[in-house]
Each structure stands twice: as C-alpha cells, then as structure tokens.
C-alpha cells in the first residue's frame, strides 16, 4: 500500500481542518496517508513514497529553511522548484510578462521608497502594501488614495524583514463580491468557491470577511484560470498534469473582466468544505497518479 505524508505545520490554524476528508479519500483509493509537521525531525519524511505539501503555513518566517527541506525530499508535490517560485509573490511579474491580466503590481526592494510615481496609474484608488513572502493577509495593509506618509511607515516595517514589498491598487469589488478561487487537480478543473475580503473596513450590505461559499464560475473566469495554468506550467518547465494541485484566485474589474490576484501552487487551502462531495476523491486520484509517475 503506497504511503503518503501530508505536510502541515506544528500548530495549524483551524482553517487547516478543511483538509480533513483527504486521508479518507486516499484510503478509499488504496493509499495510506498520515499528517506530519514539515519541520518535525522525527516525522521520517524519507520513508514516504510521496510528500504532499498541504498546510506548512509557518514557513514564511523561515522560507529558505523550508525550501531547503523541500529540496531534500526524494518525492514532493508540488515539486520543490514550484515552491521556490511560488512562495515569493514576485511571480506575479512573470505572469504579467506572459500577457495575463494580473492585478497591477509594483515591486519595491529594501531601501526603496514609495512615491507618487508608484501610484500614478491609479491616483484615485485605495492601495495595498504586502510582503512578497507571506501567507493570508499577514503584513498586508490598505491605505487611502495618496496616503504616502502612512504607507511609507508601513513599508519601512516590512522592509525590515529584508524582502520585496508589493504595491497594488485595492480592488473594491472584493468587498461586494469577494474573490473567486478556482481549484485544479492534476491540471484539471475541480471546483470553485468565493472567499470574502480580508482587508475590509465595513461589512454593511457586503460579503462578510472570511466568508466562503461554493460557486460555478462563468466562462470568462474559467478561461483566464486555464490560461494561468498553462502559463505556470510553461514557466516551470512542467506539464500541467505535473501540478498536483493549484488554486487560481480571480476578481473582476469594474467592467466585469477578470483579473488575477494570486496563483497558489505551494500550500493553498483547497476549499473541500465548500465543494461537492467528489472533490476530495478527485484530489486523491491526482495523488495516486503522481505516485505512479
């Protein structure tokens, strides 16, 4: 019976429980699976036929240590080079260069200041600063149009960590409609769900922060998500089917056209609690296919 270790963190948040159906689904397909913290020296990851990165969400403070651990594994999904590319949000620049409709993004290196020129393309919009290495909304902050003073102070604190900082216009449509997350297993679309906003000021008449619900994405969203999957596979020198799991987060512009917020191919929440009952089995089937090469 093939043996898989599902990598998590030592103190996983409650949201990691969303993955609970996965071990039973794997067992149903003849694959034994156990959970282990990625940095637990007693876990014995080398004994697994495959290590699947699921919720190692404390890696952001120890990214190089985490990536070295990924490199040390005989078999890991998604592959270690995917984690190296995807755990720094500067990958958005790669997707932009491929012509994909990514939310406009500026990258500020340590020591660089934020100026009016960085906001010139969206002078009347709220904007967001976030670290290029981070999980969820940690380190992200939302600012009023043109509020360079407050932004400069936050930028300095983020640069204290030594990494790049992203500057993006805030997409106010997220407050009303949330983000649509499209999930893929083995390169194939599985299901989609809506995520409520994390950086909100008011919830009056709008989607609740953190709320999730199952949706059926329309053709425009599906098409952009498929394009993102193709581009990522090409950038990484992989076949789409080599991406065991992926989540493409999209939002709509005011004119309704989709914009890419993120591509999560390292440790995304897969939304099993907001999918049809077959979703965990589809993921388990992709794991089994990965075991068989």
Residue 188 to residues 68, 112, 269: CA-CA distances in angstroms? 29, 41, 17
With the C-alpha atoms ordered 27, 24, 214, 139, is the resulting torsion angle positive or negative? negative
- Nearest to 70, CA basis, from 62, 79, 61: 79
CA distance 72 to 31: 23
Among residues 54, 84, 142, 212, the one annotated as catalytic is 212
Six-digit token pair at 167? Answer: 């500057």
- Nearest to 285, CA basis, from 26, 16, 23: 26
What is the helix (H) or strand (E) element at residue 182, kind and residue range?
strand 179-185
CA distance 134 to 257: 27
Per the annotation, the verdict on 282 as an active-site residue is no
Per the annotation, the verdict on 63 as an active-site residue is no
Among residues 247, 252, 262, 267, the one annotated as catalytic is 247
Among residues 179, 206, 262, 264, the one annotated as catalytic is 264
Chain centre distance of CA 40:
23
Per the annotation, the verdict on 212 as an active-site residue is yes
Positions marked active-site: 212, 247, 264
């Amino acid at each position: 019976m093939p043996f898989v270790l599902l990598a998590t963190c030592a103190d996983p948040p409650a949201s990691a429980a969303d993955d609970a159906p996965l071990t039973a689904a794997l067992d149903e397909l003849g694959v034994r699976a156990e959970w282990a913290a990625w940095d637990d020296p007693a876990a014995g990851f080398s004994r697994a036929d495959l290590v699947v990165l699921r919720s190692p969400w404390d890696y952001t403070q120890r990214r190089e240590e985490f990536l070295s651990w990924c490199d040390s594994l005989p078999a890991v999904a998604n592959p270690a080079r995917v984690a190296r590319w995807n755990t720094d949000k500067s990958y958005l620049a790669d997707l932009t260069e491929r012509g994909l409709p990514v939310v406009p993004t500026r990258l500020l290196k340590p020591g660089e200041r934020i100026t009016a020129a960085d906001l010139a393309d969206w002078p009347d919009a709220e904007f967001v600063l976030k670290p290029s290495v981070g999980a969820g909304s940690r380190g992200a902050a939302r600012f009023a149009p043109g509020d360079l003073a407050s932004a400069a102070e936050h930028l300095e604190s983020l640069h204290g960590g030594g990494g790049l900082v992203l500057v993006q216009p805030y997409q106010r449509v997220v407050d009303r409609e949330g983000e649509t997350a499209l999930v893929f297993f083995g390169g194939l679309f599985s299901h989609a769900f809506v995520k409520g906003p994390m950086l909100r000021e008011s919830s009056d008449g709008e989607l609740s922060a953190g709320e999730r619900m199952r949706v059926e994405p329309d053709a425009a969203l599906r098409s952009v998500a498929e394009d993102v999957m193709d581009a990522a596979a090409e950038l990484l020198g992989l076949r789409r089917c080599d991406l065991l799991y992926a989540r493409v987060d999209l939002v709509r512009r005011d004119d309704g056209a989709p914009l890419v917020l993120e591509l999560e191919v390292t440790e995304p929440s897969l939304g099993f609690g907001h999918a049809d009952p077959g979703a965990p089995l589809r993921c388990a089937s992709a794991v089994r296919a990965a075991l068989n090469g």
